Structure 1
Amino acid sequence: MVVEQLWQPVPGGSGVYIEELLAELATGAHGVDVTGLAARHAGPPPAQPLPPGLAVRHAPLPRTVLYESWQRVGHPRAEAVAGPLDVVHATTWAVPPTRRPLVVTVHDVAFLHDPTHFTARGNAWFRRALERTRRSADAVIVPSQATADDCLAVGLDAARVHVVPHGSRPVPRTAAQVADFRDRTGLGRPYVLWCGTIEPRKNLPVLLRAFASVADRRPDLDLVLVGPAGWGEVPGHPAGLAPDRVRVLGRLSREDLHSAYAGAAAFCFPSVREGFGLPVLEAMQHGLPVVTSAGTACAEVAGGAALLVDPASPADLADALVEATGPAAPDLARRSAERAADFSWRRSAATTADVYRSVAGRRSG
């Protein structure tokens, strides 16, 4: 399994996916022995933890050179680095060459829908990886039917595409832990939470314009933005929105992130496009009323439990935020918790292991 994403400065949702899948497979409950595959690293171990005892084999090349060599030269093969393998799993677009059966996880194809959200180099790299996946993968794992539909639209064979929804690992927080977090961060008023890596498709300008309207109607309510910088900046406040009504907390520890969820009045995630929408599921696990984008994988994850809006409409988003923090909140919270119970990393790992078994013994491509 390719685990190099865990060494990225911002591992993002795909990093969480690899971490949680590894942790579940490492229990031995699914009949799979995992070896990690990564680039050469002279520095510290990854910020995202690896399961105790996991063997990680490192290629002789640093990440940038390794990725280019995989795409352009076709070396080194995964089995040359990791040893004997039954199946190779590329967990992101970093797809190693191999003569063994190949499974590729496609989190999304956002670069095809709006190339302007990525660099020219990134777009070219993604497209080459997509072509390798189309040509060589024995199975393609996607986290949602929305992403499966995107894959079919770009020519991937439906028989090879397997929908395996992500899970989410609950991190319960006590009232005392939430109170401590709010004291340390100065969150004195009720707040709507947004969480994610800051990038254009997350649609923060529309969220801020919507909240400027909400702030007039709900003077007791703040907006809290949580997450690392990606490629983009938090947009400036719209005219009329007081700076102290929006709090930007940046990247938080796992414990503080879940305290932020647990202490929120509602969660808002109006992303234009997602492969899955893990923050929506995490918020629902905490029983939060959720507002998210209609017609996206986030709506698929919500399964009718959230308020769905046109992500291009600040007015619609503002109305939904007022509703989510008003009398409808208890019912929305109940629906969120019920929907979240349908997802688990154990189920994701079990289905992934079934995909491995379905291709083991084949030769890819």
Structure 2
Amino acid sequence: MRPVLVNGLGCYEAGSRLVLRELLKSAPAGAHLWVILPSGNRADLLAGAAVIHGIPLNHRVFGRWLRPLFELSLYLLGALGVFRRIVNVSNYGWCAPRWTPTVLYCHNALLVEGGQDEWSGKGGRPNWFKRWCLDSCLKRAEKVVVQTEHMAVRMSAYAARRGLGAAPIEVARPLPSFPETVKSVEKIFAFQFFYPASSFPHKRVELAVQAAILANREDSRVGLVLTGELPKRASCVRELGAISHETVMAHFAVSDALLFTSNQETLALPLLEAMHHGLPAVLPELPYAQDIYGEAALYFKSDEPREIAEAMMACVRESEKRRVRVTARREGEWNRRDSWSEHWNKFGVI
């Protein structure tokens, strides 16, 4: 039987890399997969029961400067019928002809927003080429799989705006896997908010920092711990730099609450990780956040640091009550999610 091609070139960092790693770990036994992935992520091929052949490529070269050539190569492989199926987990791609079934797994909300295309499209933001490739998938793919209902709505709205006859859109709600044991790290602040962030603009790190400073002025116990390569801000804010996912989970384990200010998310994996640890959360009043935390979270509507700081202080005062709500919410949330193994069913590989 011909193998399945998995295009994971776009899964080179943070949450997208975690998606590819979890999928490969849970690939069905006996499946014959050829996997394109960033050369720095070769270690992600080691786990799993499937027969996996890696095709490591330099992401900076083939994922950016030579991306059109890369997409043309995949299109030709699809046209020649080299693979029995193509599973594209890189959010977009030039879709192969219909005689090679292709499934797109899209987990980047920025691509379907109504904003203008950018020249470079850095940080996951759209440019004309990314959207042209995405449009080809919506026209010809067997199906498009997304992670949440609100992303399915946005994808359908995007297709309507572009005048596309959209491929079927299906939802696969991932349930992250959590380590059985967590490494030990030191708690930094008496009441510690944790924000696993990055330098991408939609994470709005500066907004989180300003809110934390205001909250600390009201209660000196309050502090914020951030991940990512960020400049030092204030004594009540600690920047950890780039850390492993294992260390991220360790900081969740010692923190008191989650602060999350991103205005563009699909799955919002850190919310599920915080819920796993029973943490109260201060979140933007947006569908991705409400879909996970429901009434268990404290929400802010505006982009004003003062409003976020007030929500943080309410979280401090109501911490124990909020933890009870989060625990009650978690069981129902977990029950409606799909394992990573079940994703392969939706991809048509099993």
Q: TM-score range by the shorter chain?
A: 0.7 to 0.9
Question: Contact 1:70/1:76 (CA < 8 Å) preserved in 2?
Answer: no
Equivalent residue for 1:68? 68
1:1-365 equivalent positions in 2, closer than 5 A: 1-6=6-11, 8=12, 11-26=13-28, 28=29, 33-38=31-36, 41=39, 46-48=42-44, 50-52=46-48, 54-58=51-55, 63-64=62-63, 67-72=67-72, 75-78=75-78, 83-85=82-84, 87-95=85-93, 97-98=95-96, 99-111=99-111, 112-115=113-116, 119-120=120-121, 123-155=127-159, 160-173=168-181, 177-178=183-184, 181-182=185-186, 187=188, 189-227=190-228, 229=229, 234=230, 237=233, 243-326=234-317, 328-341=318-331, 342-343=333-334, 347-357=338-348
Q: CA deviation at 1:55?
A: 1.4
SS at match of 2:177: coil
Task: Rate the CA distance shift 1:96–1:130 in 2: closer, same or farther, 3 A.
Answer: closer
Question: Contact 1:40/1:63 (CA < 8 Å) preserved in 2?
Answer: no
Question: Contact 1:173/1:258 (CA < 8 Å) preserved in 2?
Answer: no
Task: Give the RMSD, CA atoms, in angstroms.
Answer: 3.3
TM-score, reference length from structure 2: 0.81
Q: 1:34-76 CA distances to partner (integer Å, 9 max, x unpaired)?
A: 51321695xx653545424641253899624763124457644
Q: CA deviation at 1:302?
A: 1.7
Question: Contact 1:71/1:128 (CA < 8 Å) preserved in 2?
Answer: no
Count of residue correspondences:
330
Question: Contact 1:76/1:97 (CA < 8 Å) preserved in 2?
Answer: no
| 2-structure distance, mates of 1:172, 1:348 | 17
| 1-structure distance, mates of 2:335, 2:66 | 33
Q: CA deviation at 1:93?
A: 2.7
SS at match of 1:325: helix
| 2-structure distance, mates of 1:344, 1:51 | 26
| 2-structure distance, mates of 1:217, 1:49 | 48
Question: Contact 1:189/1:221 (CA < 8 Å) preserved in 2?
Answer: yes
| 1-structure distance, mates of 2:166, 2:325 | 32
| 2-structure distance, mates of 1:17, 1:40 | 13
Task: Rate the CA distance shift 1:257–1:45 in 2: closer, same or farther, 3 A.
Answer: closer
| 1-structure distance, mates of 2:56, 2:101 | 20
Q: CA deviation at 1:216?
A: 0.7
Q: 1:98-141 CA distances to partner (integer Å, 9 max, x unpaired)?
A: 34111101113314344588835751232122111112111111
SS at match of 1:77: helix
| 2-structure distance, mates of 1:97, 1:220 | 53
- The structure showing larger relative contact order (alpha-carbon pairs under 8 Å, at least 6 residues apart) is 1
| 2-structure distance, mates of 1:316, 1:40 | 41
AA of the residue aligned to 1:335? R
Task: Rate the CA distance shift 1:71–1:254 in 2: closer, same or farther, 3 A.
Answer: closer
| 2-structure distance, mates of 1:13, 1:316 | 28
SS at match of 1:222: strand
AA of the residue aligned to 2:153? D
- 4+ residue segments displaced more than 6 Å: 59-62
AA of the residue aligned to 1:334? V
Task: Rate the CA distance shift 1:3–1:72 in 2: closer, same or farther, 3 A.
Answer: closer
TM-score, reference length from structure 1: 0.78
Q: 1:287-324 CA distances to partner (integer Å, 9 max, x unpaired)?
A: 11111111231221223321122151322211111111
SS at match of 1:270: coil
* Bigger Cα displacement from structure 2, 276-285 vs 333-342: 333-342
Question: Contact 2:203/2:263 (CA < 8 Å) preserved in 1?
Answer: yes
| 2-structure distance, mates of 1:211, 1:267 | 12
Identify unmatched segments of 5+ residues in structure 2. Answer: 1-5
Question: Contact 2:118/2:127 (CA < 8 Å) preserved in 1?
Answer: no
Identity %: 20
